[in-house]
Amino acid sequence: MANMAHHTAPGAPQADGGGARAEGHTSALVIVTLLFFMWGLITSLNDVLIPHLKAIYTLSYVEAMLVQFCFFGAYFIVSLPAGALIRRIGYQKGAVAGLLIAAMGCLLFYPASFGGYGLFLFAFFVLASGITVLQVAANPYVTVLGPPRTASSRLTLTQAFNSLGTTIGPAVGGMLILTAAGAAIGTAADAATVRGPYLALAGALALLAVLFWAAKLPKIVDDETVQSRSQSQGSVWAHRPLVLGAIGIFLYVGAEVSIGSFLVNFLGEAHIAGLSHADAATYVSVYWGGAMVGRFIGFAVMRTVSPGKTLAFNSLAAIALVLAAVFGKGSVAMWAILAVGLCNSIMFPTIFSMALNGLGKHTGQGSGILCMAIVGGALVPFAQGAMADAMGVQLSFLLPAACYVFILYFGAKYAAMYGGK
């Protein structure tokens, strides 16, 4: 799953007193990387739960997509309050608070298993609220835990572990939830299969909260003193790359999440692969695993090719693959849609960095706007759900294809950014 990328700029968070010593950086980076892994795993579990809950409560696709609506809607609602909370209590305590809120959301899955679909949706919102606080608090650590010149490589490392979590999540969820559901009898028994995995997640998150609380991490301060008054005068909204980048983040996250959300049902179609939910969940891991592999490939490619050109190429490839899935059948359609994950790999951090380029003192505000744009993960799947109800799952993938068209435009328009070839 996509996570927030940060770029160092005047006014960006700095390690207090010039940063922790190198030996302290390693243990701190390990803990922060664990956080990236956990929220990747939790986010991708939604792709397993959506078809599961749809079958249990006989939901339409629109109703099933309320899961992503509540989950990613939390990013839009909670991002600004989370920022205010972090400024008040600090980054380290903020990360602990986010972990505990997320753990509370996982615990709510227990009463939801016998309380109905509405309580499940509330649990998703609470869980995502915790993850949002966690992202706002934990991301700045990646940029300050070491020299600025290696910040990009640290971001690649943490994002790779986020992708590892999204890769493992569907396979584990398919085994623990969908396989168990296949043996369960009745709605209550089916719903009960979520209890064990989410109680285990609650325990893991609580343990991470304790570790984060006890860890000796460098204090991070928002350095306002180094800003030049000559930089970035005027409104942040006057920065056109930021505005277009926010639209790009909205559409990218929407497309990525929407494809993942419909994969199990798509692969279950008789003319595609005819897979059971449990078997299809394994292939969802292939989709997210492609993003993990692609991040390393993209990191190497973008050392010589401009990020804008790389973004445009990946967007064009994603459009072609989605169209092959929409108008194809059998293994061609199946592997085409799974390969979109590889194209998604570099999109989020590339759009994010390009949108923030040159913002100077407005970098923090721009980051907040881009984080709120993640609400695309709530709205685009909801819209695709309406299309799936009206015209079928396969044709509904035309919506993600349209999202990638705008990202192609953004990449091509700003292909000259950061130099490159």
Residue at 352: amino acid letter = F
Q: Residue 193: name the closest of 169, 172, 177 by CA.
A: 177
Residue 143: predicted pLDDT? 61
Task: Give Cβ neighbours of residue 2 (< 8 Å, ≥ 6 apart).
Answer: 252, 253, 256, 344, 347, 348, 374
Q: What is the pTM of this model?
A: 0.84
Token representation of residue 300 = 């190497």
Count of alpha carbons within 13 Å of 114, Cβ hemisphere only? 4
Structure token digits, residue 120: 């499940």
Task: Give tens-digit pLDDT for 138-185.
Answer: 766 666 677 665 655 676 677 778 889 999 999 888 888 877 665 554
Averaged pLDDT, 63-67:
96
Domains with residue ranges and CATH for the chain: 13-225+237-413 (1.20.1250.20)
pLDDT digits (tens, 9 = 90+) for 83-136: 889 888 888 899 899 999 999 999 999 999 988 999 999 999 999 999 999 888
Taking CB atoms within 8 Å and a gap of at least 24, the contacts of 243-247 are: 244/355, 244/410, 244/413, 245/351, 245/352, 245/354, 245/355, 245/356, 245/370, 245/410, 246/355, 246/369, 246/370, 246/372, 246/373, 247/373, 247/406, 247/410
Q: C-alpha distances in angstroms, 72 versus 76, 221, 342?
A: 7, 28, 22
309-316 mean pLDDT: 95
| Alpha-carbon gap, residue 131 to 97, rounded angstroms | 10
Q: Confidence band (pLDDT; 50, 70, 90) for 54?
A: very high
